[in-house]
Amino acid sequence: MSRFGRLVGRDLTLALRQGSDATIAVMFFVLVVVLFPFGLGPEPNLLARIAAGVIWVAALLASLLSLDRLFQTDFEDGSLELMALGGLPLELVVLAKATAHWLVTGVPLLVAAPVLAVLLGMNRDGFGTLELTLLLGTPSLSLIGSIGAALTLGARRGGVLISLLILPLFIPVLIFGAAAIDSALGGLSVRPHLLILGALLAAALPLTAMAAAAALRQALE
For residues 127 and 125, give the distance between their C-alpha atoms in angstroms, rounded to a whole number. 6
Q: Tell me the residue type at 203.
A: A
Summarize the confidence of residues 58-65 as an average pLDDT. Answer: 89
pLDDT, tens digit (0-9, with 9 covering 90-100), for 69-113: 888 888 888 888 888 887 788 899 999 999 999 998 889 899 999
Q: How far is CA 144 from CA 11, 97, 185, in A?
A: 18, 12, 28
User: Residue 11 has what pLDDT?
Assistant: 84
| 155-192: pLDDT as tens digits | 666 667 888 889 999 999 999 999 999 999 988 999 99
Percent of the chain with pLDDT over 90: 45
Alpha-helical segments (H) within 78-190 = 79-85, 90-101, 107-119, 127-151, 158-185
pLDDT at 158: 61
If we measure between CA atoms, which residue out of 68, 71, 58, 69 comes closest to residue 27? 58
* pLDDT confidence band for 138 (50 / 70 / 90): very high
Q: Assign residue 157 a region (left: φ > 0; alpha: ψ between -120 and 50; beta: otherwise).
A: left
**Per-domain residue ranges of the chain:** 2-220
CA dist 26 → 94, 107, 144, 220 (Å): 23, 10, 20, 33
Q: Are 58 and 32 in contact (CB under 8 A)?
A: yes
CA distance 85 to 11: 18
User: How high is the pLDDT of residue 145?
Assistant: 92
Nearest to 54 by CA among 141, 146, 177, 165: 177
- Rounded Cα distance between 1 and 73, Å, is 23
> Which residues, 6 or more positions from 163, have their beta carbon under 8 angstroms from its beta carbon?
64, 148
20 pLDDT higher than 90: no
Q: What share of the chain is helix, strand, coil (3-state, %, to 5)?
A: 85, 0, 15
Q: What is the mean pLDDT of the chain?
A: 88
* 1 pLDDT tier (thresholds 50, 70, 90): low
In this structure, what DSSP letter does residue 124 have? G
In 3D space, the residue among 168, 107, 182, 111 whose CA is nearest the CA of residue 137 turns out to be 107
